[in-house]
Structure 1
Amino acid sequence: MCRIAILENYSLFCSGIRPILDKITEFEVVTEAKQLTEFVALIKKSNPDVIIIDVIHCDQDGILPVKKIRSKTTKTPILLVISKEYSEYFENYIALGVNGLLCNSSNPADLVDAVKTLKNGGDYFPQKVWILLKEYLRSKRIDIVPERSTSKLLTSRELDILKLFCKGYTYKEIANNLNISPRTVETHKKNISTKLNVRSTAEMVEYAVHNNLT
């Protein structure tokens, strides 16, 4: 059973989220609130597996709620519901430890997939989010000279895998594209992360964008 907590400040929007989650037998909404203070107190008691925040109707573009929640729970995965107008904050969300971003125009199946992915320990950043993030990063990119050439840091296969992650491909899609196993893709990603000194897929993509690898 996946225990879910929802923070939103717009009841009509939330009425679209909960019915979707309630249809999934392995999901249980254990906490639902509109106010941050109340929500933080409730998640401490309910101990959810996944936290969903509608940042579109939150204070300070969702930054404050994420900070408050992360100060109380560092491990519980957080999924933010966002729109393209929030792309300038994607870096901040990622730096604060958000595990997934879901566009408000996504379909119900995407919401279910996102929750399941976070529950299983993965990150959920679909292709639409990567495109928005890359467009924003490119709009503000300055010349960055890496301490060492990326081409010397990574093997040709690692570069191929990095580029596919930047396109929003999943482990399975990358594996099919390169005729290797998803486990091998995972191993390559760990090696890439170690070599580039990044902690997540999002940081890996940000590095690639800054260094003109996409």
Structure 2
Amino acid sequence: MCKVAILERFTLLGAGIKSILQQYNEYEVIVQTETIDSLLKQLKGKSPDVFIVDIVHGDNAGLKPLRKIRRHFPKVPVLLLVSQNYSDCFEEYIRLGVKGFVLNDAEGKDLVEAIHVLSNGGEYFKKKVWEIFRSAIQKRKYQKKDQHILTDREVAVLRLFSRGLSYKEIGASLNISPRTVETHKRNILSKLKINTTADMVRYAYRNQILT
């Protein structure tokens, strides 16, 4: 019996994933929850064989929960539900222990196949995923680096957002107020002509300004 833990922000979608797996006798969903803190709390004393994490409906490109999962369960493989909009982060996802990607337009049978592969020690990267990954690397290679339009403080704020920190945590780290952090974020979004925190994370990875 393969024990599965599901992290899905939307309860209905999580129930849908669980329903797919319940059609197969070899899978047992031991946890299905919406937040990483709830996931870790419910898993006390338990250890799944595979994590399923939906990045598409997460915050900060899903990096913060993935780091927590890796810290608490370093040997348990993670299967990521993802869209190609996050292709710039694929490399970091792999570094954080992701062993397989299932695109959000895939069928239920692809999900089951991926879980089977991961639970048996393998990796699940379909041809389409590698094509998207290669395209993102090529784009990053030739993209003009324009980070000079950001101030040093804005780069620092961008870097901390990309690590999954909250407004309060960033403010404490830089000795500024959360309101000032919010102002810096608005300026970053405006200067880079992007709209969301996930866009900021992707920009940071593309331009290698996380360290």
TM beyond 0.5: yes
Give TM-score scaled by structure 1 length: 0.64
Structure with higher RCO (Cα < 8 A, 6+ apart): 2
8 Å CA contact retained: 1:79, 1:99? yes
3-state SS in 2 of match to 1:124: coil
Does 2:129 match 1:122?
no
Q: Is the 8 A contact 1:31 1:46 kept in 2?
A: no
Instruction: Give matches, 1:150-189, under 5 Å.
Output: none
What value does the CA root-mean-square deviation take over the aligned residues? 1.1
- SS of equivalent residue, structure 2 residue 21: helix
SS of residue in 1 equivalent to 2:86: helix
1:123-169 per-position Cα deviation (integer Å, ceiling 9, x unaligned): 11111110110000011126xxxxxxxxxxxxxxxxxxxxxxxxxxx
1:136 aligns with 2:148: no
Aligned residue number for residue 8 of structure 1:
8
CA distance in 1, matches of 2:13, 2:33: 13
What amino acid maps onto 1:8 in structure 2? E
> Structure 1 runs of 4+ off > 4 angstroms?
none
Check the 8 A contact 2:8/2:34 in 1, yes or no.
yes
1:1-214 alignment, distance < 5 Å: 1-141=1-141
- Give the 3-state SS of the residue equivalent to 2:98 in structure 1: coil
How many residue pairs were aligned? Answer: 142
1:63-118 CA distances to partner (integer Å, 9 max, x unpaired)?
00100110001100100100111111101101112111110110111001000000
CA shift, 1:45, in A, is: 2.6
- How many Å separate the matches in 2 of 1:12 and 1:64? 23
- Contact map agreement 1:2 1:27 (CA 8 A) in 2: yes
The secondary structure found in structure 2 opposite 1:58 is: coil
Q: TM-score normalised to the size of structure 2?
A: 0.65
Contact conserved, 1:59 with 1:65, CA < 8 A, in 2? no
5+ residue gaps in structure 1? 143-214
Which segments of 5 or more consecutive residues in structure 2 lack a partner in the other structure? 143-211
2:163 alignment counterpart? none
The alpha-carbon deviation at position 11 of structure 1 amounts to 1.9
